[in-house]
Amino acid sequence: MNDENKDYIINLRVSRATYEKIKNKAKENRESISNLVRKTVDDSIEIISDISNELRGKDKNSKFKDVIGYHKIKAAQELECDQCDAKITPGDVATVGETAGAKKYFFCQNCK
Protein backbone atom coordinates (compact mmCIF):
# COMPACT_ATOMS: atom_id res chain seq x y z
CA MET A 1 0.00 0.00 0.00
CA ASN A 2 1.31 3.47 -0.91
CA ASP A 3 1.58 5.66 2.22
CA GLU A 4 1.88 8.86 0.15
CA ASN A 5 -1.83 8.83 -0.66
CA LYS A 6 -2.99 7.67 2.75
CA ASP A 7 -4.89 10.12 4.96
CA TYR A 8 -4.46 9.95 8.70
CA ILE A 9 -7.01 10.71 11.41
CA ILE A 10 -6.30 13.02 14.33
CA ASN A 11 -8.77 13.15 17.22
CA LEU A 12 -8.93 16.53 18.90
CA ARG A 13 -10.72 17.54 22.09
CA VAL A 14 -11.98 21.13 22.28
CA SER A 15 -14.33 23.05 24.55
CA ARG A 16 -17.98 23.43 23.63
CA ALA A 17 -17.41 27.14 22.96
CA THR A 18 -14.55 26.39 20.55
CA TYR A 19 -16.59 23.71 18.82
CA GLU A 20 -19.49 26.14 18.34
CA LYS A 21 -17.12 28.75 16.86
CA ILE A 22 -15.66 26.18 14.46
CA LYS A 23 -19.12 24.87 13.54
CA ASN A 24 -20.46 28.40 12.88
CA LYS A 25 -17.41 29.38 10.81
CA ALA A 26 -17.68 26.19 8.74
CA LYS A 27 -21.37 26.88 8.13
CA GLU A 28 -20.57 30.48 7.19
CA ASN A 29 -17.93 29.26 4.70
CA ARG A 30 -20.23 26.48 3.45
CA GLU A 31 -17.72 23.76 4.15
CA SER A 32 -17.42 20.82 6.49
CA ILE A 33 -15.94 21.15 9.94
CA SER A 34 -13.24 18.65 8.95
CA ASN A 35 -12.26 20.66 5.90
CA LEU A 36 -12.12 23.93 7.88
CA VAL A 37 -9.94 22.37 10.60
CA ARG A 38 -7.68 20.71 7.97
CA LYS A 39 -7.14 24.02 6.14
CA THR A 40 -6.55 25.85 9.42
CA VAL A 41 -3.91 23.33 10.51
CA ASP A 42 -2.21 23.45 7.07
CA ASP A 43 -2.16 27.26 7.07
CA SER A 44 -0.95 27.44 10.68
CA ILE A 45 1.96 25.08 9.97
CA GLU A 46 2.86 27.16 6.90
CA ILE A 47 2.74 30.43 8.88
CA ILE A 48 4.78 29.04 11.79
CA SER A 49 7.36 27.67 9.37
CA ASP A 50 7.59 31.03 7.56
CA ILE A 51 8.03 32.95 10.82
CA SER A 52 10.60 30.47 12.09
CA ASN A 53 12.60 30.71 8.85
CA GLU A 54 12.47 34.52 8.91
CA LEU A 55 13.61 34.67 12.53
CA ARG A 56 16.52 32.34 11.78
CA GLY A 57 17.34 34.14 8.52
CA LYS A 58 16.63 31.14 6.33
CA ASP A 59 14.93 31.09 2.92
CA LYS A 60 15.06 34.86 2.41
CA ASN A 61 14.98 34.44 -1.36
CA SER A 62 12.30 31.78 -1.40
CA LYS A 63 9.44 33.52 0.39
CA PHE A 64 7.00 32.47 -2.32
CA LYS A 65 8.29 28.92 -2.89
CA ASP A 66 4.92 27.48 -1.85
CA VAL A 67 3.05 29.14 -4.76
CA ILE A 68 1.58 26.52 -7.09
CA GLY A 69 -0.06 28.88 -9.58
CA TYR A 70 -0.66 32.49 -10.58
CA HIS A 71 -3.62 34.32 -12.07
CA LYS A 72 -4.60 37.94 -12.75
CA ILE A 73 -7.35 39.73 -10.86
CA LYS A 74 -8.92 43.17 -10.84
CA ALA A 75 -8.73 44.36 -7.23
CA ALA A 76 -12.10 45.06 -5.61
CA GLN A 77 -10.55 46.48 -2.46
CA GLU A 78 -7.25 47.98 -1.39
CA LEU A 79 -4.49 45.37 -1.09
CA GLU A 80 -0.80 45.41 -0.32
CA CYS A 81 1.83 43.79 -2.52
CA ASP A 82 3.39 40.90 -0.61
CA GLN A 83 6.75 41.44 -2.30
CA CYS A 84 7.33 45.22 -2.23
CA ASP A 85 4.54 46.47 0.11
CA ALA A 86 3.15 48.81 -2.58
CA LYS A 87 -0.54 49.66 -2.39
CA ILE A 88 -2.83 47.97 -4.90
CA THR A 89 -5.92 50.15 -5.26
CA PRO A 90 -9.41 49.04 -6.29
CA GLY A 91 -9.56 48.66 -10.08
CA ASP A 92 -5.83 47.88 -10.45
CA VAL A 93 -4.82 44.64 -12.14
CA ALA A 94 -2.81 42.45 -9.77
CA THR A 95 -1.43 38.93 -9.73
CA VAL A 96 -2.49 36.35 -7.16
CA GLY A 97 -0.13 33.55 -6.20
CA GLU A 98 -2.04 30.61 -4.74
CA THR A 99 -0.66 27.88 -2.51
CA ALA A 100 -1.87 24.33 -1.97
CA GLY A 101 -3.45 25.58 1.27
CA ALA A 102 -5.70 28.60 1.50
CA LYS A 103 -2.87 31.14 1.60
CA LYS A 104 -2.75 33.70 -1.23
CA TYR A 105 -0.05 36.22 -2.11
CA PHE A 106 -0.89 39.45 -3.93
CA PHE A 107 1.57 41.14 -6.27
CA CYS A 108 1.45 44.59 -7.87
CA GLN A 109 2.03 45.06 -11.60
CA ASN A 110 5.73 45.80 -11.03
CA CYS A 111 6.46 42.58 -9.14
CA LYS A 112 4.71 39.86 -11.20
Contact 101, 76 (CB under 8 A): no
For residues 45 and 82, state if they share a domain: no
Tell me: pLDDT of 106 over 90: yes
Do 14 and 52 sit in the same domain of this protein? yes
The whole domain housing 85 covers 67-107
My answer on whether 71 and 43 are in the same domain is no
What per-residue string of b and e applies to 37-50 under the rule 16 or more CB within 10 Å gives b? Answer: beeeeeeeebeeee
Average pLDDT for residues 52-71, to the nearest whole number? 73
At residue 28, the pLDDT reads: 94
What is the model's pLDDT at position 86? 93
Regarding predicted confidence, which is higher, 55 or 19?
Answer: 19
Instruction: Please give the share of the chain, as a percent, with pLDDT higher than 70.
Output: 87
pLDDT, average across residues 23-39:
93
| Of 112 and 90, more confident | 90
Check whether residue 78 and residue 101 sit in a common domain. yes
1 pLDDT more than 60: no
Distance from C-alpha of 110 to C-alpha of 6, rounded to nearest angstrom: 41
Closest CA to 102 of 44, 22, 15: 44
Same domain, 15 and 41: yes
To the nearest whole number, what is the mean pLDDT of the chain?
A: 86
Whether residue 2 is predicted with pLDDT greater than 70 in this model: the reply is no
Q: Give the 3-state secondary structure of the chain.
A: CCHHHCCCCCCCCCCHHHHHHHHHHHHHHCCCHHHHHHHHHHHHHHHHHHHHHHHCCCCCCCCCCCEEEEEEEECCCCEECCCCCCEECCCCEEEEEEECCCCEEEECCCCC
Task: Give yes or no: residues 41 and 80 share one domain.
Answer: no
Over residues 36-59, the pLDDT tens digits come to 998 888 888 888 877 776 676 665
